[in-house]
Amino acid sequence: KQEVTQIPAALSVPEGENLVLNCSFTDSAIYNLQWFRQDPGKGLTSLLLIQSSQREQTSGRLNASLDKSSGRSTLYIAASQPGDSATYLCAVRSRSNTGKLIFGQGTTLQVKP
């Protein structure tokens, strides 16, 4: 059974710092991994999707990497800003059942001015 873990649960950093959010999964036979952002009281916004054959994806100040063999993905945020404050979730679509996305519990990020 696929399990997805995100550590730490919360993170507070000063503005301008580069930071890394972690996502680990137990079954390496994945189809893809997706990173989302959720603002308080809102829905989830897709940030990046990494296919199983890819090693990384980039969008602006965000870079997501994938290492299937170790069951890990990282989301790198460069030059963090207060507007980056949100909860970041990762989700995995497994090859064993592509109909199900399994989510981690998220990392809540606070960027202090």
Partner 1 sequence: NAGVTQTPKFQVLKTGQSMTLQCAQDMNHEYMSWYRQDPGMGLRLIHYSVGAGITDQGEVPNGYNVSRSTTEDFPLRLLSAAPSQTSVYFCASSYGTGESSPLHFGNGTRLTVT
User: Could you say whether residue 88 binds partner 1 (CB under 8 A)?
Assistant: no
If the CB atoms of residues 80 and 87 are measured against partner 1, the closer one turns out to be 87
DSSP string, 7-44: S-SEEEEETT--EEEEEEES---EEEEEEEEE-TTS-E
60 touches partner 1 by CB under 8 A: no
Q: Does 31 bind partner 1 (CB under 8 A)?
A: yes
Report the interface residues with partner 1, using CB under 8 A.
31-32, 34, 36, 42-46, 49, 51-53, 89, 91, 93, 98-106
